[in-house]
Structure 1
Amino acid sequence: MILLLLGHPNPASFNAAIAERCRAALEAAGHEVVFHDLCAEGFDPALPAAEFSRNAPLDATIRQHVDELCAADGIVVVHPNWWGMPPAVLVGWIDRVLRPGETYEFLEGDSGEGVPQGLLRAKAAVVLNTSNTAAAREQAVFGDPLERIWKDCVFGLCGVRDVRRRMFETIVTSTPEQREVWLQEAEALVVEAFGCAS
């Protein structure tokens, strides 16, 4: 099963088009796809204090997301680059769904430095972003923080070693023809990452 997450509030956005094309391509390759449009579903990104503890009772929505993430063979995340970060709905999804003991675990004898062992079964993750900042400026001025966030701070910590990321830019000046090329590239990226289902 491939878990596909969309983090954009506009259902007519290019991000939504990317997610839909990826879903169709994965299903055509024989994969079961579990898709969540987090904004459309009204996912609450605020982590309540009652969920802090490792064994906290979770509401049914969060429990479902945790179970789906832990069962996924692959993960696809689609979102815009906002201030060098994912949108708040995705940050909150990370806060609430990536739970100790389920997606990562601190090693026995850890002396407080917080070295984790990843527990996710997913072998690969694909992150597809959009931006209105040119790639060269993004790298030179900002250092591409999304690369570090997803590769090292999120998926690396949870045990997903094969993390592929593609930034589509510059959206604001792109033509319909360019966007179609990008959509085809997104389809090819996810099929390459996960192959055909057996």
Structure 2
Amino acid sequence: MAHRKILVLDGHPAATSLSRHLTESYAETARSAEHEVALRHLSDLTFDMDFEHSHYRDAKPLEPDLQDIMDQLVWADHFVLVTPLWWGGLPAKLKALFDRAFLPGLAFDTRKTNWMGMPAPLLSGRTAQLIVTADTPGWFQRFAYQSAVQRATHRQILRFVGMRPRRSLWFSGASQANERQVSGWRRKVERAALAVA
């Protein structure tokens, strides 16, 4: 089995959550399979959430926590994002992390474009997996909302910067989940960690 360098990010802004539990299960299982794992919790990160500019010129410097995340993304060859679904999208602090840190020169290169005018991605050669906890049933998310959060995250964030998304995991009924459901979700997360090679 090829050993991977994995960045696992708990994208829930609270210090205790189902997302944190699943993130830690993923990281523990990946470490047991002898992968190198960096585990980060959004709740531990301190940064200004407001980008504040209408352009990328003179963007404010990254705070140490954001710079660490970018350094770990450069180090990693697989990125795992565990997040709740809030109002059809990512939590505000998680979205702010991408707004602030995925900048030209760090995540993409506006000086090099393809035939469609799209900037060159700077995080190519990496895979990624999205794991979502939600109250919206998976079938309803697919048919009524056309898997909007997965499509936006995969296509307009991960692929945009060069990462190749793997199949996402969707766990619904999260607010009222019982111990049996959570155990089942944890087993799926652990299988995903073992299948990363």
Q: TM-score range by the shorter chain?
A: 0.7 to 0.9
Which stretch of structure 1 is more off in the superposition, 96-105 or 16-25?
96-105
Aligned 8 A contact 2:127 2:166 in 1: yes
Q: Is residue 2:90 matched to residue 1:86?
A: yes
Q: Distance in 1 between matches of 2:22 and 2:120?
A: 32
Q: Distance in 2 between matches of 1:51 and 1:109?
A: 18
Q: How far is the alpha carbon of 1:53 from its aligned partner? A: 2.5
Q: Is residue 2:196 matched to residue 1:189?
A: no
Name the SS for the 1:178 alignment partner: helix
The one-letter code sitting in structure 2 at the alignment partner of 1:130 is T
Q: How far is the alpha carbon of 1:49 from its aligned partner? A: 3.5
The one-letter code sitting in structure 2 at the alignment partner of 1:146 is V
Q: Is residue 2:139 matched to residue 1:148?
A: no
User: Counterparts in 2 of 1:9-158, with a 5 A limit?
Assistant: 9-49=13-53, 52-53=56-57, 57-106=61-110, 108=112, 114-158=117-161
Aligned 8 A contact 1:54 1:101 in 2: no
Which stretch of structure 1 is more off in the superposition, 157-166 or 79-88?
157-166
* Number of equivalences: 193
Q: How far is the alpha carbon of 1:150 from its aligned partner? A: 1.5
The one-letter code sitting in structure 2 at the alignment partner of 1:35 is L
Q: Is residue 2:18 matched to residue 1:6?
A: no
Change (3 A) 1:122 1:92: farther
What is residue 172 of structure 1 aligned with on the other side?
A: 175
Change (3 A) 1:163 1:118: farther
Q: TM-score, normalised by structure 2?
A: 0.86
Q: Deviations over 1:109-145 (max 9, x none)?
A: 669x641222214521111101101112222222221
Overall identity of the aligned pairs, in %: 25
- Structure 1 unaligned runs (5+)? none
Q: Distance in 2 between matches of 1:122 and 1:180?
A: 33
RMSD between superposed Cα atoms in Å: 2.4
Change (3 A) 1:172 1:62: closer
- Structure 2 unaligned runs (5+)? none
